[in-house]
Amino acid sequence: MKRNKPNQAGHAAWTLVAAVGLFAAFAGAALAQGHSAETAYIILRDQRQIDGTAVRVNAQGDYVIRTGVGERTFPAAQVLEAVGARPPEFDRAVAALRAGQLEQAVPVLERIAQQHRRLGWDDEANAALGRAFLRADDPQKAASALERISEPFLNRRPDVRVAQWDAMIAAGRGAAVEPKLDEAIRGGDRALAARAQIRRGDLKMSRRQIEEAAMDYLRTVVLFENQRDAQPEALFKAGMALRELRDPRASRMFETLASDFADSEFAARIP
């Protein structure tokens, strides 16, 4: 069977397009799902939440939160998560990012990420920076920003976790992203597992392992059939991989995509 040599640069661009599209779909997520109140809080490892008006990290690395009855200090070992008051410049930076003004948004977001380390807004800023660098076709910087995000934030924002995987694959960090994909596939979140299965295929495509990539995409189509949100991407990528292999099953993938998911962005990209 004659196989076309895969275009590695083209696949990197394909991965970046998917990542940017994913972030665009969640363009308002930082505002809608993130920390919206003008307040601060600390969540302790015993799940108690301490609310206040401001929180900071002192010279000893402990958390200090200002409450209505004064300041309270908690050792870092007792704190699961801490979130400071919303930086007023964050919304302006996100607005600039949405307007395509990267040169204005990036320095502000980088400053927020530095000044609000361990206070929640570093995660929000790094997520926005990842989006900015993906749009600028700079997967190395995108991956660096997205890899700095904390696990609690990624647990709340699976869209950001998937974009982190996309950026790492596009940046050539396969060895680092592979265990993350394996863990997600084995995990209990079926929606996230379906996305991870697709990214495993993307990783193999980036390594020019076309047959193995096709199998990963096909596994997503079959084993995650009930994860409807993941099906258009899986069908499209399965079809593209099979097409490169000159496998007649490619047409079946595209037909299913066109008939069952006609309104998806992937249906519009059927060759």
Q: Is the pLDDT of residue 16 over 90?
A: no
pLDDT score at 131? 84
Q: Please determine, for residue 1, whether its predicted confidence score (pLDDT) is greater than 50.
A: no
Tokens matching residue 45? 């490892």
**Which domains are present in the chain?**
40-83 (2.30.30)
Q: Are strands 49-52 and 54-57 parallel, antiparallel or unpaired?
A: unpaired
pLDDT tens readout for residues 82-137: 999 999 999 999 999 889 899 999 999 999 999 999 999 999 999 999 988 988 89
Q: pLDDT digits over 79-88, tens only?
A: 999 999 999 9
Residue 15 has pLDDT above 80, yes or no: no
pLDDT of residue 53: 92
Residue 245 scores a pLDDT above 90: yes
* Mean pLDDT for the stretch of residues 7-26: 51
What mean pLDDT is predicted for residues 161-170? 96
Cβ 181 vs Cβ 201: under 8 Å: no
- Is-contact 111 60, C-beta < 8 A? no
Give the pLDDT band (50/70/90) at residue 25.
very low
The whole-number pLDDT of residue 40 equals: 93
Residue by residue, what is the 3-state secondary structure of the chain?
A: CCCCCCCHHHHHHHHHHHHHHHHHHCCCHHHHCCCCCCCEEEEECCCCEEEECEEEECCCCCEEEEECCEEEEECHHHEEEEECCCCHHHHHHHHHHHCCCHHHHHHHHHHHHHHCCCCCHHHHHHHHHHHHHHHCCCHHHHHHHHHCCCHHHHHHCHHHHHHHHHHHHHCCCHHHHHHHHHHHHHCCCHHHHHHHHHHHHHHHHHCCCHHHHHHHHHHHHHHCCCCCCCHHHHHHHHHHHHHHCCCCHHHHHHHHHHHHCCCCCCHHHCC
Query: What's the rounded Cα separation, in Å, for the pair 217 and 234?
Result: 5
Integer angstrom CA distances of residue 152 from 1, 82, 116? 47, 10, 16
Percent of the residues in the chain that have a pLDDT greater than 70, as a whole number: 86
Residue 143 burial (C-beta neighbours within 10 Å; 0-12, 13-18, 19+)? buried
Q: Taking residues 197-221, what's their average pLDDT?
A: 98
Q: How far apart are the first and last CA of the chain?
A: 21
pLDDT band at 11 (very low <50, low <70, confident <90, very high): low
Percent of the chain topping pLDDT 90: 80
Q: What is the pLDDT of residue 134?
A: 86
Q: Using CA atoms, how far apart are residues 258 and 143, in angstroms rounded to an integer? A: 33
pLDDT tens sequence across 33-71? 444 445 899 999 999 999 999 999 999 999 999 998 999
Max Cα–Cα distance, the chain, nearest Å: 75
Better pLDDT: 28 or 263 = 263
